[in-house]
């Protein structure tokens, strides 16, 4: 799909949404009491940081296991949402909050339980879903009204994308008119330990030849963790309702060539990007996303990296400059690991690419193939 076509697909939705978002922005509602279910792993801290910066009052509810020392000055309610060990007593009673923000990953029964419990004591339920809910990722320009996976009932162990569909339904059932559901793609930045963006940053910063996939025209989408958090707070403060794709990294679509070249430019153009074609990638059994992080050829799922976030943009979503995302993601990696550790050797992470040794072998094979032609 050409860039022009992509813009055309999204422009109609943009016009329709303009008026609605303008009216909601006229009624900012600041300094709210926010209950965050979770809040201490990855996206949660970005939400907490933004909410504190905006002057809101925060209560955290979690088990106290993940990063228990974060936010020593915030009110912390302890409990457990896992059905088998459930303890929601800290949420019972008649305490009132303005908003609840829930980052729960999977089991929709836990959404129903907390939503039911809080239904008459909060004005709005904000839930973090995912673009995983969309059924057909071969379709270009997926919007919030595109079809979702068809799922009717929860079965323990069901896939992430199926349970997210049911989680959204649980939120809608308990808060039919006053919910916000955000659907982010891959989230990158501070505290991201998937190392998939980091793979590219680390390799390119290190310099030398770097294997780059395809012809550079495949699209790439992600979102900075701060942008999701900022949009959630913005939606809350401007009293938005509904479902929003929160997809970046910028308003315009980005292709892989721009993505890798911007990383290279940011680190002083020390890397030599060697673009290898899809035939070579298939021949050497390099798996998109897994062996080549983030990347997927458009021939596989053209819609995966061309989704529309026009609705969120019209509602006021903004984007962190990509270079700032690069810096915060790599700084976190350098801090957790060390700047000399190759992310490609960490096999506990599923999407962090190949080792440097394997990459150099492949580049040799690519050179030999081209010599032979």
Site residues (CB under 6 A) for ligand NAP? 38-45, 62-66, 80-82, 103-105, 128, 130, 184, 186-187
Beta carbons of 228 and 360 less than 8 angstroms apart: no
Question: What is the DSSP annotation of 313-327?
Answer: HHTT-----HHHHHH
**Of 42 and 175, CB closest to ligand NAP:** 42
How would you classify residue 144: left for phi > 0, otherwise alpha for psi between -120 and 50, otherwise beta? alpha
| Minimal distance, residue 48 CB to ligand NAP, in Å | 8
**Of 72 and 368, CB closest to ligand NAP:** 72
| Minimal distance, residue 220 CB to ligand NAP, in Å | 14
Query: φ and ψ at 62, to 5 degrees?
Result: -165, -175
| Minimal distance, residue 360 CB to ligand NAP, in Å | 29
**Of 185 and 344, CB closest to ligand NAP:** 185
| Minimal distance, residue 146 CB to ligand NAP, in Å | 16
Beta carbons of 45 and 20 less than 8 angstroms apart: no
DSSP E strands in 113-217: the ranges are: 124-128, 179-183, 187-188, 208-213
Give the CA angle between residues 168, 172, 177 to the nearest 5°. 140
Token output for 113: 């339980």
Residue nearest to ligand NAP (CB): 44
| Minimal distance, residue 361 CB to ligand NAP, in Å | 30
| Minimal distance, residue 364 CB to ligand NAP, in Å | 33
Token output for 236: 């809350």
**Of 7 and 52, CB closest to ligand NAP:** 52
Sign of the Cα pseudo-torsion (182, 147, 108, 17, in order): positive
| Minimal distance, residue 19 CB to ligand NAP, in Å | 29
Sign of the Cα pseudo-torsion (278, 280, 281, 283, in order): positive
| Minimal distance, residue 43 CB to ligand NAP, in Å | 4
**Of 187 and 286, CB closest to ligand NAP:** 187
Output the CA–CA distances (angstroms, integers) from residue 55 to 32, 34, 48, 131, 231, in the order listed.
8, 11, 11, 30, 16
Helix (H) or strand (E) holding 233: helix 225-237
**Of 84 and 372, CB closest to ligand NAP:** 84
| Minimal distance, residue 172 CB to ligand NAP, in Å | 16
Rounded CA-CA distance 105/362 in Å is: 37
| Minimal distance, residue 209 CB to ligand NAP, in Å | 29
Beta carbons of 274 and 366 less than 8 angstroms apart: yes
How would you classify residue 2: left for phi > 0, otherwise alpha for psi between -120 and 50, otherwise beta? beta
**Of 39 and 213, CB closest to ligand NAP:** 39
**Of 275 and 351, CB closest to ligand NAP:** 351
Rounded CA-CA distance 360/209 in Å is: 8
* CA terminus-to-terminus distance, the chain: 30
**Of 113 and 203, CB closest to ligand NAP:** 113
**Of 224 and 310, CB closest to ligand NAP:** 224
Give every CB contact of residue 371 below 8 A, 6+ residues apart in sequence: none
């Amino acid at each position: 799909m050409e860039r022009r076509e992509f813009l055309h697909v999204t422009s109609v939705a943009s016009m329709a949404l303009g008026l609605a978002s303008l009216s909601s922005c006229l009624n900012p509602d600041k300094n709210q009491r926010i209950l965050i279910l979770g809040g201490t792993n990855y996206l949660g801290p970005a939400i907490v940081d933004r909410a504190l910066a905006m002057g809101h009052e925060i209560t955290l509810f979690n088990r106290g296991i993940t990063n228990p020392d974060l936010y020593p000055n915030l009110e912390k309610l302890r409990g457990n949402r896992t059905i088998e060990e459930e303890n929601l007593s800290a949420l019972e009673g008649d305490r009132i909050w303005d908003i609840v923000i829930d980052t729960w990953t999977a089991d929709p029964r836990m959404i129903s339980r907390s939503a039911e419990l809080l239904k008459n004591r909060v004005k709005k339920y904000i839930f973090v879903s995912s673009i995983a809910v969309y059924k057909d990722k071969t379709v270009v320009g997926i919007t919030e009204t595109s079809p979702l996976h068809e799922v009717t009932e929860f079965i323990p162990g069901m896939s992430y994308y199926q349970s997210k569909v049911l989680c959204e339904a649980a939120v809608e059932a308990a808060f039919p008119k006053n919910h916000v559901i955000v659907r982010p793609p891959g989230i990158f930045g501070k505290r991201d330990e998937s190392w998939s963006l980091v793979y590219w940053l680390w390799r390119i910063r290190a310099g030398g030849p770097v294997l780059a996939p395809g012809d550079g025209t495949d699209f790439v989408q992600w979102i900075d963790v701060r942008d999701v958090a900022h949009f959630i707070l913005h939606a809350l403060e401007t009293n938005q309702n509904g479902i929003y794709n929160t997809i970046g990294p910028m308003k315009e679509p980005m292709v892989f060539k721009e993505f890798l070249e911007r990383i290279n430019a940011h680190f002083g153009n020390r890397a030599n990007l060697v673009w290898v074609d899809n035939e070579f990638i298939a021949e050497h059994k390099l798996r998109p996303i897994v062996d080549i992080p983030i990347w997927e050829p458009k021939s596989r799922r053209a819609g995966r990296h061309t989704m529309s976030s026009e609705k969120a943009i019209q509602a006021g979503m903004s984007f962190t400059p990509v270079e700032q995302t690069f810096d915060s993601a790599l700084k976190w990696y350098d801090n957790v690991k060390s700047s000399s550790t190759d992310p490609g050797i960490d096999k506990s992470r599923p999407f962090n690419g190949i080792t440097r040794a394997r990459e150099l072998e492949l580049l040799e094979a690519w050179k030999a193939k081209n010599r032979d032609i």
